[in-house]
Amino acid sequence: MREYGPSVAMPRILDLLDDYGIKASFFIPGFIAETHIELIEDLVLRGHEIGHHGYMHEPPATLNKEEEAEVLDRGTAILKKITGNVPAGYRSPSWELSNNSLQLLHDRGFEYDSSLMGNDIPYIVNVGSESIVEVPIHWELDDHPFFNYSPYLGQ
């Protein structure tokens, strides 16, 4: 989210959602939340969910367990400070979980993850002897592959 997203696109998207009475989940990196506090407060005021999306969009697969835990804790603290709530959901930056991610999420009380693509409906993922709900996401729902890999677009 550079300046266009928060200042131009988000107000348009939020007005459209309001027009149709739709509530949405927004997975926001902690740094973006800190930078655009008013936007996050507006999202909450309008009844939308704020989910955890790292701090600086760090892919967990590139972090050791302690670094990943620190990123989770830092992002959670920021979102709680701004919204008054601990986020219930998590979407991994780049949709890349580490071998530790689901256990770290479970240990921190996250209700669900939305980073995997194992189905088109929510399902349960085992985390040791425990489990966490997975709300799947799919590449087809993101414009990144279309713009990133098309030789005719995004240039």
48 Cβ contact list (under 8 Å, min separation 6): 14, 17, 23, 24, 25, 26
Per-residue confidence at 151, pLDDT binned at 50, 70, 90? low
81-103 pLDDT, tens digit per residue, is: 999 999 999 999 988 899 999 99
Query: What is the rounded CA–CA span in Å between residue 37 and residue 150?
Result: 34
Q: What integer best gives the mean pLDDT of the chain?
A: 91
Rounded mean pLDDT of 58-75? 97
27-51 pLDDT, tens digit per residue, is: 999 999 999 999 999 999 999 999 9
> For position 153, what pLDDT does the model report?
60
Domains and CATH numbers, the chain: 24-149 (3.20.20.370)
Residue 142 has pLDDT above 90, yes or no: no
Structure tokens at 55: 């701090």
Per-residue confidence at 5, pLDDT binned at 50, 70, 90? confident
69 Cβ contact list (under 8 Å, min separation 6): 100, 104
